[in-house]
Chain A
Amino acid sequence: MAPSQDEVFEKVQDLLSDALGVDTEEVSPEATLQGDLGAESIDFLDIVFRLEKAFSIKIPKGELFPDDIMNNPEYVNGDQMTPVGLEMLKQAMPHADFSEFESDPSMSRVPELFTVKTIVNYVESKLAAA
């Protein structure tokens, strides 16, 4: 039986606390990985490895954190994501909440998409598909 949303969240909370050296209370669903929890680039890889182990799932490169889209100059105009880029990102990240980001899709706001909830949603979708 697949674990409940609470069970997934608790596991994610624990592993993010370990990976980022923060208290579990700080790992709220709304917390952003970079802004609130201080994640750096290598931490994203650490998080991927920890998720794979904790949930016995395989996370292909670019699936949870689609950096190939975010780093593609074709999808960026100045500091703004182009409409095509935004659409690509939305398709690549059905696990993220774009409701606020869409109104101002600037690159500097991309880290706001990566919240604890984003990861929980992703894990749930992977477990449901398994």
Chain B
Amino acid sequence: MRWIWIDTFVDFESGKRASAVKNISLAEEYLHDHFPGYPVFPPPLMIEGMAQTAGILAGEARGFAENVILAKIRLAKFEDYARPGDQLRYDAVLDSIDERAAVSSGTVFLNGVQIGRVDLIFSHVRGDNTLGLPDYNFVFTEQFTNLLASFRDQITSGSTTADEG
């Protein structure tokens, strides 16, 4: 099992921006406890969803050479709740990226209406440094990179946008 909080990418422009969606289903067990009788998608998982959207955007921009680790939540603001049956969309923009880190700004939409902002910083960590980390990429496993499968052709040929409709 893997901790994946986005269902699919609907837009991916290499090194620039990405959009992913998450459909919320009452089949997801945690919603039965959060809260009993009133299921609400936990806002911290919206931060995670944005981190995965922006993190894959940052990772892909440098050929998945480094582990991209969420290092700081610059901003997280939500103005509404998401509930079963709703669709969340995470729009992430890569503001800057270099060998040290990546900075993203993001907007969260609930059924197409903007409800939040999440701005993040990621650290780039290579396995061969002194932190005692594994020497393989432990962030971008196959399950994560498979999320980009439908965009692979566009990415390798210079990237573009998919049809959202």
Q: Which residues of A contact B (CB under 8 A)?
A: 18-19, 42-43, 45-46, 49, 52-53, 61
Contacts and interface: CB of A to CB of B under 8 A. Distances in A.
B155 to A, nearest CB: 25
A49 B101 contact: yes
A42 B103 contact: no
A100 B74 CA distance: 34
Interface string B85-125: 00000000001100011010000000000000000010100
Interface residues of B, number: 10
B71 interface: yes
B95 A53 contact: yes
B69 to A, nearest CB: 10
A49 B72 contact: no
Contacts of B103: 49
A53 to B, nearest CB: 7
A66 to B, nearest CB: 15
B100 to A, nearest CB: 6
B96 A46 contact: no
A46 B95 CA distance: 12
A62 to B, nearest CB: 11
Contacts of A42: 71-72, 121, 123
B71 A52 contact: no
B72 A52 contact: no
24 contacts: A18-B74, A19-B74, A42-B71, A42-B72, A42-B121, A42-B123, A43-B72, A45-B71, A45-B100, A45-B101, A45-B121, A45-B123, A46-B72, A46-B74, A46-B121, A49-B95, A49-B96, A49-B101, A49-B103, A49-B121, A52-B96, A53-B95, A53-B96, A61-B100
Nearest to A45: B101
